[in-house]
Structure 1
Amino acid sequence: MRRRSFIKKSLVAYGALAFIVNVSPARAAPVTLLALGDSLTVGYGLPAAEAFPVQLEAALKAKGRDVRVVNAGVSGDTSAGGLARLDWALADKPQTAIVALGANDGLRGLDTNRLRANLDAIIAKLQGAGVKVLLAGMEAPPNLGPEYGQAFRAAYTQVAKDRGVALYPFFLDGVAANPALNQKDGLHPTGAGVAVMVGRMLPMVEKLLDQVRP
């Protein structure tokens, strides 16, 4: 009789435990952050572990942020190229995105009006998909002259204003023109250079992530 009573109590306790396990909330999935860019994003000339998305994800995790950063960089891509492949990039269903395009537009001296239109279309599409956006600005090569440089810079400022998104003024801030932080080509950052980029951009990235509802 005692044995039956013990078994009955054990089954009741097991059932209660199973109920608690089953109704416990599942762990929230990490926030997905899309890094849409060019060779500066993809990590040209660097080991995979030193690329911008990888270092950014590590820095965010060190801050206690559960974030997955998707590397959507393509070497040589212009703003038009980024727009053309945006549907493919959205397949990862990001909640947030950093748009870091335009360096190759500047290197090729492309029309700044087209740069502005492409960036605007990219951000409009991201916002239409419910994605929170941070726009990373770029500077035109100085050899193209001050007038082009001003128009180039203004493209980012105008798009950020029109679309109501935050603008990080210069993606290569603290790294550009510093030989110690760039590869031999003088255009692409070293791993240490990427670390500087991540460190300087991190506060704005955290503000971007704070816009996502838990």
Structure 2
Amino acid sequence: MITNPDASVHAHTYLALGDSYTIGESVPASDRWSVQLAGLLRKEGVDVADPDIIARTGWTTHELMEAIQRSGNKKTYGLVSLLIGVNNQYRGQDTERYRNEFRELLQTAIRFAGNRPGRVFVLAIPDWGITPYAANSGRDRQQIAREIDAFNAVAQEECQKIGIVYVDITPTSRTAAGDASQIAEDGLHYSGKQYRLWAEKALPVAKKLL
């Protein structure tokens, strides 16, 4: 868990839950989409701290749940985001397992938000099939896209059931195809430039929730 020691000096706190996309694999901490979002909110006059983060590259829904338990984090936050599922897809797990575990994570996120669903939002899973890594590894990029869409459909449906805002950044992620400036040096993850687009997409949602 990454903790922001300066959070207490701000009016609002923020927790970001996820995997490599939230931890910002292969980019500086300042380029993480959640950190960029907090900065954009402050520019809009919303006094929110940079996020605490529980995320790691490679985590599935189940591994994120385990990590949250291990963290012992009992704080309550003004804003909570969740972005998880790409590793479920990557490892070939089925969508029903994802549904059950994602549903549990939504409830966990709500608890972190002081039992306020209106302070939680979910980002869609981006499409890693557009990356050089996917092309060079011989993976079926259309199949990846179809599977990502299927996982996202589950996430969106579960969010709608309990009134959680769902931010669809998957089409945005696909605009990185063929643009090296939007891809991190590892050829698999996104650069701060692409993460900026996610932050901008989430900005009006987060501002409204706060």
Deviation of the 1:123 alpha carbon: 1.0
Counterpart Cα distance in 2 of 1:143 and 1:102 = 18
Shift of 1:139: 4.9
* Larger gyration radius, structure 1 or structure 2: 1
Q: Residue 42 of structure 1 is aligned with which of 17, 23, 28? A: 23
Poorly superposed stretches of 4+, deviation over 6 Å: none
Tell me the alpha carbon deviations over residues 37-65 of structure 1, each in whole angstroms, 9 at most, x when there is no partner.
Answer: 11111111112222223222211111111
What TM-score do the two structures reach when normalised by structure 1?
Answer: 0.74
- 1:93 counterpart (66, 70, 76): 76
Aligned-residue sequence identity (percent) comes to 25
Count how many residue pairs are aligned between Structure 1 and Structure 2: 183
Structure 2 runs not aligned, ≥5 long: 1-7, 130-140
TM-score (norm 2): 0.75
Give yes or no for contact 1:72–1:89 (8 Å, CA) kept in 2.
Answer: no
Counterpart Cα distance in 2 of 1:169 and 1:51: 17
Asked whether 1:136 is paired with 2:123, we answer: yes
Letter in 2 for 1:78: T
1:65-214 correspondence to structure 2 within 5 Å? 65-68=46-49, 69-87=51-69, 88=71, 90-128=73-111, 129-131=114-116, 132-139=119-126, 141=129, 142-144=141-143, 148-170=147-169, 173-174=172-173, 176-177=176-177, 178-209=179-210
Q: Which amino acid aligns with 1:34?
A: L
Local SS of the residue matching 2:62: helix
Take 1:86 and 1:192, find their aligned partners in 2: how far apart are those partners?
Answer: 29
Q: Which runs of 5+ in 1 are unaligned?
A: 1-26, 210-214
Q: Return the structure number with greater relative CO, CA threshold 8 A, min gap 6.
A: 2
